[in-house]
Chain A
Amino acid sequence: MSIRHGLLALLERGPRYGSQLRTEFESRTGSTWPLNVGQVYTTLSRLERDGLVEQDGEDGAGHALYTITEAGRAELKLWFEKPVDRTSPARDELAIKLAMAVGAPGVDIRDVIQSQRRHTVKAMQDYTRLKAQALTALESGAERERDDVAWLLVLEQLIFQTEAEARWLDHCEARLIRLSATAPRDGAPPAPATPPRRAEPGRAVSRPGA
């Protein structure tokens, strides 16, 4: 849904052609949300089918230009006004993994949590680094301000979501420790200070559904 509305939002600022839309989209979302051109054109044709955009001539280089229709503007307005639907929870692999790890023989759940935490915090560090750069860019260059701000917001969305995950991990750990303290036989024993397992720093950041 959101690529659809993203393109609509870009078109509202004026007629665009396909690959131009893709570039602007990526620039705004900071390449964390990559698109390919095919995806753009498929979406555009669907939008045209629904009467939300229409082709409106070509530019000098022969690219077909799309413009937004009145119905498209109404749809966009509706999208901005409607909160994001949270009724269907994302099926998060991490949640499933932890749920399975409880009680699994031979698995130290605190190690599982810690390795996940390291991963999460590391991702946050990376995002924060990018954010610091964005902040610097924002302070220095004024011309592409709009894009920079958009990029910053996306980064912060990622950071806050990752933080929520880190906090959730903290909470899980604290809860497990409490349970193991009250029922030492059933619960997983608190892990001794084991040396950190050096998991390969994965690039797979759990990403909100695209």
Chain B
Amino acid sequence: MSSPSRSPQQSQPNQPGQPGPHTVQPVLQLQNLTRVHGSGATEVHALRGIDLDVFPGELVAVMGPSGSGKSTLLTIAGGLDTPSSGRVIVENTDITAADRKTLAALRRRSIGYVFQDYNLIPALTAAENVALPRELDGTSARKARREAIAALEEMDLGHLADRFPDEMSGGQQQRVAIARALVGDRRLVLADEPTGALDSETGESVLALLRARCDAGAAGVLVTHEPRFAAWADRVVFLRDGAVVDQTIRSDADSLLTGRTAE
């Protein structure tokens, strides 16, 4: 009987750490972002001066009560909505001033969305769904499909390639949606409650995949109200009334264990 192999110290193959802004450019930068819905008496401040940087390899969870501005933050970050003031910079491009066409092109090339459910176009197979952004971008159907299948296989979803969405489970659909979000050169995933319609175990598999993609270099923003899923993130940002009130920095798992053992 050898000593326990449970030795966390040695199983840290891809500890992302916190790359400093000097060495790596953030994929997504939100600068002093505000968003006001309506005007006058019905004026609602959905966001008040949000600053947030998301680096490659980092998964950031945004938590907060209903109406705290989580979803607004995400739609603005993806260019589906425009901020009242402040700047959104994706891959060094300021999208705040971009026109509709540029925004659409940006969504094709840089930003991937994953929503709570019904992410996939029912008329297209998994592979075609993943290939869609590439095809819309003008890639030939064959090349787009090849890339899509590669993306699916990388995430162990190759067997789903030719299935239609209604032939897949909810978890499978969400994982295909993540594959689509990261197909081609895209490396920013914006996920809005991606586990909301799933059971605990399935939701976990989806987050594990998201985590793995971030560990492999993608940047992710996850909006959720479930702490258990937020806990998969490197950083949890707490939103209240449209402002960031707090955030956690994930500590080193080694120190956690060693500290615990020492106690």
Chain A residues proximal to chain B, CB less than 8 Å = 20, 23, 26-27, 30-32, 34, 114-115, 117-118, 120-122, 124-130, 132-133, 135-137, 144, 147, 151, 159-160, 162-163, 166-167, 170, 173-174, 193-194, 196, 201, 203
Judging by beta carbons under 8 Å apart, are B4 and A27 in contact?
yes
Chain A CB within 8 A of B115 CB: no
Judging by beta carbons under 8 Å apart, are B4 and A23 in contact?
yes
Question: Which of the residues A34, A127, A163, A174 comes within 8 Å of B65, measured between beta carbons?
Answer: A174
Q: Which residue of B lies closest to A201 (CB)?
A: B251
Of the four ranges (under 10, 10 to 19, 20 to 34, 35 or more), the interface on chain B belongs to: 35 or more
| Chain B 206-226 interface residues, beta-carbon cutoff 8 Å to A | 208, 211, 226
Chain A CB within 8 A of B232 CB: yes
Judging by beta carbons under 8 Å apart, are B257 and A125 in contact?
no
- The contact sample of 30 A-B pairs, CB cut-off 8 A, is A23-B1, A26-B6, A27-B6, A34-B260, A114-B238, A114-B246, A118-B238, A118-B248, A121-B231, A122-B236, A122-B249, A126-B250, A127-B231, A128-B228, A128-B232, A129-B253, A129-B256, A132-B208, A132-B211, A133-B253, A136-B11, A137-B11, A144-B5, A163-B228, A166-B227, A193-B240, A193-B245, A196-B247, A201-B251, A203-B263
Judging by beta carbons under 8 Å apart, are B65 and A129 in contact?
no
Chain B hits for A32, CB < 8 A: 260
Chain A CB within 8 A of B63 CB: yes
Known contacts A130-B8, A196-B246; A124 and B227 CB within 8 A of each other? yes
CB distance from B199 to the nearest CB of A (A): 14
Add 15 more A-B contacts to A124-B228, A125-B234, A196-B245 (CB < 8 A): A20-B1, A31-B261, A117-B246, A121-B227, A122-B250, A125-B233, A130-B253, A144-B5, A159-B228, A173-B65, A193-B244, A193-B245, A201-B249, A203-B259, A203-B260
Judging by beta carbons under 8 Å apart, are A31 and B6 in contact?
yes
* Distance A160 CA – B5 CA, assembled complex (angstroms): 25
Chain A hits for B230, CB < 8 A: 121, 124-125
Judging by beta carbons under 8 Å apart, are B6 and A30 in contact?
yes
Judging by beta carbons under 8 Å apart, are B257 and A31 in contact?
yes
CB distance from B23 to the nearest CB of A (A): 23
Chain B hits for A118, CB < 8 A: 236, 238, 246-248
* Distance A144 CA – B228 CA, assembled complex (angstroms): 27
- Give 9 nearest A-B pairs by CB, closest first: A124-B231, A196-B246, A27-B4, A166-B227, A128-B231, A193-B243, A122-B248, A129-B253, A126-B256
* Distance A129 CA – B255 CA, assembled complex (angstroms): 12
Contact string against A for B residues 41-61, beta-carbon threshold 8 Å, 1 for contact and 0 otherwise: 000000010000000000000
Chain B hits for A162, CB < 8 A: 227
Chain A hits for B241, CB < 8 A: 193
Known contacts A125-B236, A174-B65, A194-B245; A151 and B227 CB within 8 A of each other? no
Chain A CB within 8 A of B39 CB: no
Contact string against A for B residues 92-135, beta-carbon threshold 8 Å, 1 for contact and 0 otherwise: 00000000000000000000000000000000000000000000
CB distance from B153 to the nearest CB of A (A): 17
CB distance from A204 to the nearest CB of B (A): 8
Judging by beta carbons under 8 Å apart, are A114 and B260 in contact?
no
* Distance A125 CA – B208 CA, assembled complex (angstroms): 13
* Distance A170 CA – B66 CA, assembled complex (angstroms): 11
CB distance from A129 to the nearest CB of B (A): 4
* Distance A162 CA – B231 CA, assembled complex (angstroms): 11
Question: Which of the residues A34, A121, A124, A135 comes within 8 Å of B208, measured between beta carbons?
Answer: A135
Question: Which of the residues A23, A117, A128, A133 comes within 8 Å of B238, measured between beta carbons?
Answer: A117
Chain B hits for A137, CB < 8 A: 11
Q: Which residue of B lies closest to A144 (CB)?
A: B5
* Distance A170 CA – B162 CA, assembled complex (angstroms): 43
Judging by beta carbons under 8 Å apart, are B248 and A114 in contact?
no
* Distance A117 CA – B245 CA, assembled complex (angstroms): 11
* Distance A163 CA – B63 CA, assembled complex (angstroms): 13
Judging by beta carbons under 8 Å apart, are A126 and B253 in contact?
yes
* Distance A20 CA – B1 CA, assembled complex (angstroms): 8
Chain B hits for A173, CB < 8 A: 65
Judging by beta carbons under 8 Å apart, are B228 and A160 in contact?
yes
* Distance A184 CA – B245 CA, assembled complex (angstroms): 22
* Distance A125 CA – B101 CA, assembled complex (angstroms): 39
